[in-house]
Amino acid sequence: MTASPPHRIAVDDELTIITAAEYNRRLAAALSDGAPVEVCLAGVTDLDTAGLQVLLHARREAHRLGRTVTFRDLNEVVRDTLAVAHLDGVLDGTAQTVTGRSEA
């Protein structure tokens, strides 16, 4: 598989420390061949810091490698969690920057 048809990854269960490794692997694999990646978050049942990290990591990796990754269909669970970290809009493109002072 090369260019155009985007990879679609749908998260249909929890995106937590239990599944983080699995989705991280799938996202990294999808990003590796250059095709755009679409992540559907409509079916996320639970999202914790580990899960959030995986999403943020994929977003940054895409940026670094010059690929595109889009997150769509953010459901209540996802939006609610993002709101807690004040990250609303970061995943679905209406983005604001994610930065912070780095600490040793």
Partner 1 sequence: MSLGEDLGQALGTFVIEARELLQDIEDGLIALEDDPAADETVNALFRAVHTLKGSAGLFGLDHLVEFTHVVETVLGLVREGALGVSPGLVSAVLPCADHIAAIVEGVAAGQTQASPSQVRAGEDLLAGLRPFLSADTAQTRPAGSVPGPPAETGPARPDVAWELSLRFGPDSLRNGMDPLAFLRYLGTMGSVTRVTTDVDALPEADGMDPETCYLGFEVHLVTDAPKAEIENVFEFVREDGDIRIVAADDQTDSYVQRIQSLPESERVGDILVRSGAVTEAEIARALRIQQERSAGYAEPPVRIGEVLVEENIVGQPIVEAALGKQRGTVEARFHDTQTIRIDASRLDKLIDLVGELVVAQASTGMRPAAAGQGGALQAESEVMRLVDEVRHSALALRMVPIGTTLRRFERVIRDVSMDLGKEVALVVTGGDAEMDKALVERIGDPLLHLVRNSLDHGIEPPEERVRRGKRARGTLRLNAFHDAGSVVIEVIDDGRGLDRERILAKAAERGLVAPGAVLSDQDVYGLIFEPGFSTAESVSSISGRGVGMDVVHRSVTELRGSIEIDSTPGVGTTMRIRLPLTLAIIDGFLVGVGESSFIIPLDRVTECVELPAGPADRDCMYLRGEVLPFIRLRSLFDIPGEPARRQSVVVIEQSGQRTGLVVDSLMGEVQTVIKPLGPLFSSLNCVSGSTILGNGEVALILDVGPLVAGHGERERLRVAG
Query: Which residues of this chain interact with partner 1, rule CB under 8 A?
Result: 17-18, 20-21, 23-24, 28, 48-50, 52-54, 56-57, 60-61, 64, 81, 84-87, 98-103
**Distance in Å, CB of 48 to partner 1, minimum:** 5
Nearer to partner 1, 40 or 56 (CB): 56
Structure tokens at 64: 């670094």
Beta pairing partners, 71:
39
Rounded to 5 degrees, what angle do the CA atoms 90, 82, 54 make?
Answer: 75
**Distance in Å, CB of 101 to partner 1, minimum:** 7
**Distance in Å, CB of 38 to partner 1, minimum:** 20
DSSP for 52-70 reads: HHHHHHHHHHHHHHT--EE
How many CA atoms lie within 13 Å of 45's alpha carbon, on the beta-carbon side?
5
Nearer to partner 1, 23 or 71 (CB): 23
Nearer to partner 1, 5 or 100 (CB): 100
Asked if 68 and 35 touch (Cβ cutoff 8 Å), the reply is: no
Nearer to partner 1, 9 or 20 (CB): 20
